[in-house]
């Protein structure tokens, strides 16, 4: 079985009244190439007449955002002309590429009525050859996401990208990133084989899982070595897992706020291009 190097607890980083946990990056773990950032918002309940999510217009370049709406909704708008409201179970995939401006806020209905909210946003790096590719966006509702389940229904997966147990993911992506969210009933088991050349992103959203005989509780991320292909997962209680795996790019990564590039000079250029309107104009 594949060895676990370390279990990392997500750091608590609230954003005003938005509960937020961040397992990546932290003081002890910078990235799991090509997975570079994860924010876990909620779970929490918003009252009626709330202000909703605080993510007004902001730019990105050089990476992708994958947003999982576990509960609540997100109203997306970007400078490429895309608009959508994605609800519980749905997913948004945005390839920022050369750059665009987007906003992720709550729908008018959610702000008026309130309700439960839980959202994950994962940043996936783009390799140098794709940093300046044309931006793209796609939002899918829950019933548009590829599904897999085992024979007795005790394990169910939403297959986002790549493949899972022979099921092709709902999103076609510019790199070979495999992503799925997996729900387990207590005592359910799942065996997987992941190539040793690929890095694994294993974050327990809720519940408690045992993977390769090591317990990983909710709000924790498991960091794996690359000694073997096998993962043996058992649910110690009802649980939800975000699972990713991909070949690393092995390139220098430089963060500059909302931009992820390969050098400081490219970060400076991104800010200049944004100020010059080269990532599109924002219409309020």
Binding residues for Fe cation, by number, are 58, 60, 102, 104
CA-CA distance, 88 to 71, in Å (whole number)? 5
Structure tokens at 173: 């992506």
Decide if 199 contacts 179 (C-beta within 8 A).
Answer: no
3-class secondary-structure state, position 219: coil
CA-CA distance, 226 to 276, in Å (whole number)? 44
DSSP letter, residue 196: T
Structure tokens at 156: 């169910």
Binding site members: 58, 60, 102, 104
Query: What's the chain's length in residues?
Result: 284
Q: In angstroms, what CA-CA distances link 95 with 46, 127, 131, 260?
A: 29, 12, 10, 12
Q: In angstroms, what CA-CA distances link 193 with 123, 165, 201, 217, 221?
A: 24, 10, 14, 22, 19
**Bridge partner residues of 168 (DSSP):** 163
Q: Which H or E run includes 271?
A: helix 264-275
Phi/psi-derived region of residue 128, left when phi > 0, alpha when psi is between -120 and 50, beta in every other case: alpha
| Among 182, 185, 232, CA closest to 203 | 182
Provide the Cα torsion 13, 237, 168, 60; round to 10°. 0
């Amino acid at each position: 079985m594949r060895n676990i190097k370390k279990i990392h607890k997500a750091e608590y980083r609230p954003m005003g009244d938005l509960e937020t946990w961040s397992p990546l990056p932290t003081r002890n773990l910078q990235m799991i190439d090509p997975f570079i950032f994860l924010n876990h918002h909620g779970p929490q309940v918003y009252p009626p007449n709330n202000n909703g999510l605080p993510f007004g217009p902001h730019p990105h370049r050089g990476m992708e955002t994958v947003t999982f709406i576990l509960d609540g909704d997100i109203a997306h708008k970007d400078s490429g002309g895309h608009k959508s409201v994605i609800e519980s179970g749905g997913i948004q995939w945005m390839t920022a590429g050369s750059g665009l401006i987007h906003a992720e806020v709550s729908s008018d209905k959610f702000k008026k009525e309130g309700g439960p909210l839980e959202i994950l946003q994962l940043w996936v790096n783009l390799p140098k050859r794709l940093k300046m590719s044309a931006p793209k966006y796609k939002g899918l509702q829950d019933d548009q996401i590829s599904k897999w389940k085992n024979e007795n229904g005790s394990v169910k997966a939403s297959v986002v990208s790549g493949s899972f147990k022979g099921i092709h993911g709902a999103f076609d992506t510019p790199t070979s990133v495999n992503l799925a969210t997996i729900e387990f009933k207590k005592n359910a088991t799942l065996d997987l084989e992941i190539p040793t050349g690929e890095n694994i992103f294993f974050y327990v959203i809720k519940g408690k899982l045992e993977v390769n005989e090591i317990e990983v509780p909710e709000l924790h991320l498991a960091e794996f070595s690359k000694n073997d292909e096998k993962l043996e997962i058992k649910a110690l209680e009802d649980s939800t897992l975000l699972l990713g795996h991909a070949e690393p790019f092995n390139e220098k990564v430089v963060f500059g706020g909302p931009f992820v590039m390969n050098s400081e000079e490219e970060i400076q250029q991104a800010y200049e291009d944004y100020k010059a309107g080269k990532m599109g104009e924002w219409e309020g």
